Amino acid sequence: MINEAFERPAAEIVQGFQDLLAHDSITCAISDCMGRLNAMTSDMKPLFEGIRLVGTAVTVKTIAADLAAAFKAIDLCQRGDIVVIDSHGSTNTAFWGENMTMSALNRGVAAAIIDGACRDVEEIRRIRFPVLSKGVVPNVGAVTGYGDVNVAIQCAGVPVSPGDIIVVDGNGVVVVPRADAALILEKAQRLLQTEHLVQEKIKAGATIGELVNVDELMRNTFSYQDRALKRD
């Protein structure tokens, strides 16, 4: 299945997340605003350090070791899109390489995120095209015409739909569902303001335990455990 059109997030929402990149560890704040969820697994590694970006997901679901859907996805991208490939965690076949990178640059693609492996890493590093994947391997897939483009997928433990907003920094990758993006953006902006106040208090000598009243939290927990044991 190939879906050439899908609903994209409003440009001002994407720009709002772009503006958040001025803050450190923005993926952490966004994940906190989504119930500490929607972060891709820790085995997703960048090919080089310093990747910080925001983009709209164009999704790929591969079948076996076929690259055709990934090729097609690049052709459908708009400037600033991120190709997100569900290759089912396979690290024995590369689903991205130098020629795909150059094609992606021609379309203005911002990055590739692969639940699998890539290759041609020296060339991609020289180009400085952002790629995050689970591994590197020389073996490349075939191009036989199978796979889906712009369908719901799962990448590194997180559901991704076309049009979702992808945020990447040194901590990893988070996925913001398009339908919730405006609300999550507002929450993240408020959280960053709160964190600034908290950090100012810590710089002034407080501890995080004092600020969250950890003694009271643990006292309540132990009290609950005691009551549960007595009932048993």
Of 148, 82, 92, whose CA–CA distance to 118 is shortest? 92
DSSP for 123-175 reads HHHHHT--EEESEE-S-B-B-SS--EESS-EEETTEEE-TT-EEEEETTEEEE
- Average pLDDT, stretch 103-122? 98
Which domains does the chain carry? Answer: 11-178 (3.50.30.40), 189-231 (no CATH)
- Average pLDDT, stretch 203-229? 75
Confidence check: pLDDT of 224 > 80: no
Dist CA 51 CA 211 (whole Å): 32
Q: What is the pLDDT of residue 45?
A: 97
Q: Positive or negative CA dihedral for 24, 163, 116, 120?
A: negative
Q: What number of other Cβ atoms are within 10 A of residue 123's Cβ?
A: 14
Q: Report which secondary-structure segment, H or E, holds 210.
A: helix 208-212
| Verdict on whether the full-model pTM lies above 0.95 | no
**Half-sphere exposure of residue 195: CA atoms within 13 angstroms, side-chain side:** 15
Name the band, by pLDDT with cuts 50, 70 and 90, for residue 107: very high
* Higher pLDDT pick, 201 / 171: 171
Strands (E), 18-67: 45-46, 53-61
Of 82, 131, 79, whose CA–CA distance to 107 is shortest? 79
State pLDDT tens for residues 126-184: 999 999 999 999 999 999 999 999 999 999 999 999 999 999 999 999 999 999 999 99
- Average pLDDT, stretch 184-204? 90
Q: What is the pLDDT of residue 33?
A: 96
State pLDDT tens for residues 47-102: 999 999 999 999 999 999 999 999 999 999 999 999 999 999 999 999 999 999 99
* Higher pLDDT pick, 185 / 224: 185
Q: What is the pLDDT of residue 31?
A: 97
